[in-house]
Amino acid sequence: MSDPKPFVLDFSQVGNKDVALVGGKCASLGELFRELTTQGVRAVDGFSTTSYAYELLLETGGLRKRLQKLLKGLDVNDLDELARVGSEARALMRETPFPPEVSDAIRDAYKSLGDRIGKRSFEVAVRSSATAEDLPDASFAGQQDTILNVRGESKIIEACHECYASLWTDRAISYRTAKGFDHFDVALSIGIQPMVRSDAACSGVMFTLDTESGFREAVVINGAWGLGEAVVQGMTTPDEWIVFKPTLKQGFRPIVTRKLGVKEVKMVFADDGTGTQVRDVVESQRKRLCLAGFEVLQLATWACAIEDHYSKLAGRHQPMDIEWAKDGVTGQLYILQARPETVHAQKAENYIETYELTGMHGAPLTSGVAVGNKIGHGRAHVLLDPAKLNTFKQGEILVTTSTDPAWEPIMKRASAIVTERGGRTCHSAIISRELGIPCIVGSGDATEKVKNGSDITVSCAEGDVGNVYYGAVDFEVKKHKITSDERPETKIMMNVGDPDHAFNVSRLPNDGVGLARLEFIINNHIGIHPMALVNYPRLRNREDVELISRRILEEDPKEFFVRSLAEGIGRIAAAFYPKPVIVRMSDFKSNEYAMLIGGKEFEPKEENPMLGFRGASRYYDDRYKPGFRLECLALRRVREDMGLTNAIPMIPFCRTVEEGERVIALMAEYGLVQGENGLEVYAMCELPANVVFADEFLTVFDGYSIGSNDLTQLALGLDRDSEMVAHLFDERNGAVEKMVEMAIDAAKRTGKKIGICGQAPSDYPEFADFLVERGINSISLNPDTVIQTTHHILETEKTLRGKVKASDSPASA
What is d(CA 807, CA 18) in angstroms, rounded to the nearest whole number?
Answer: 69
What's the longest Cα–Cα distance across the chain?
Answer: 99
- The three-class DSSP label of residue 231 is helix
What is d(CA 770, CA 768) in angstroms, rounded to the nearest whole number?
Answer: 5
What is d(CA 312, CA 305) in angstroms, rounded to the nearest whole number?
Answer: 11
What is d(CA 259, CA 40) in angstroms, rounded to the nearest whole number?
Answer: 28
Q: Which residues contact 752 (CB under 8 A, 6 or more apart)?
A: 698, 701, 702, 703, 704
Sign of the CA dihedral with 533 first, then 536, 539, and 542 last: positive
In the DSSP assignment, the letter for residue 236 is: S
**Which of 305, 71, 308, 31 has its CA nearest to residue 184?**
71
- The three-class DSSP label of residue 622 is coil
Q: Where are the alpha helices (DSSP H) in 581-643?
A: 590-593, 616-619, 625-640
Contact assessment for residue 247 and residue 231, using Cβ atoms and an 8 Å cutoff: no
Contact assessment for residue 521 and residue 541, using Cβ atoms and an 8 Å cutoff: no
What is d(CA 513, CA 496) in angstroms, rounded to the nearest whole number?
Answer: 7
Choose, from 163, 426, 460, 757, the residue flagged as catalytic: 757
Choose, from 427, 501, 529, 792, the residue flagged as catalytic: 427
Give catalytic status of residue 757 as yes or no.
Answer: yes
Tell me the β-bridge partners of 705.
684, 755
Tell me the β-bridge partners of 513.
494, 581
| DSSP-derived pairing of the beta strands 682-685 and 753-756 | unpaired
| Amino acid identity at 598 | G
What is d(CA 61, CA 317) in angstroms, rounded to the nearest whole number?
Answer: 46
Whether the link from the prior residue into 578 is cis, omega within 30° of 0, is yes
How far apart, in Å, are the Cα atoms of 353 and each of 213, 236, 347, 350, 792?
Answer: 10, 30, 12, 10, 21
**How crowded is residue 103: how many other Cβ atoms within 10 Å of its Cβ?**
17
Give catalytic status of residue 427 as yes or no.
Answer: yes
What is d(CA 483, CA 480) in angstroms, rounded to the nearest whole number?
Answer: 10
What is d(CA 706, CA 691) in angstroms, rounded to the nearest whole number?
Answer: 10
How far apart, in Å, are the Cα atoms of 755 and each of 246, 512, 775?
Answer: 28, 12, 10
Counting every residue written for the chain, the total comes to: 813
- The three-class DSSP label of residue 388 is helix
Q: Which residues contact 280 (CB under 8 A, 6 or more apart)?
A: 264, 265
**Which of 772, 785, 690, 770 has its CA nearest to residue 730?**
770
What is d(CA 413, CA 270) in angstroms, rounded to the nearest whole number?
Answer: 36
In the DSSP assignment, the letter for residue 373 is: S
| Amino acid identity at 300 | A
What is d(CA 624, CA 639) in angstroms, rounded to the nearest whole number?
Answer: 23
Contact assessment for residue 492 and residue 789, using Cβ atoms and an 8 Å cutoff: yes
Tell me the β-bridge partners of 268.
277
**How crowded is residue 275: how many other Cβ atoms within 10 Å of its Cβ?**
15
| DSSP-derived pairing of the beta strands 703-706 and 682-685 | parallel
**Which of 388, 383, 341, 408 has its CA nearest to residue 173?**
408
Contact assessment for residue 9 and residue 50, using Cβ atoms and an 8 Å cutoff: yes
Continuous segment of H or E residues that includes residue 148: strand 146-151
- The three-class DSSP label of residue 528 is strand
What is d(CA 561, CA 567) in angstroms, rounded to the nearest whole number?
Answer: 10
- Looking at the annotation, which residues are catalytic? 427, 757
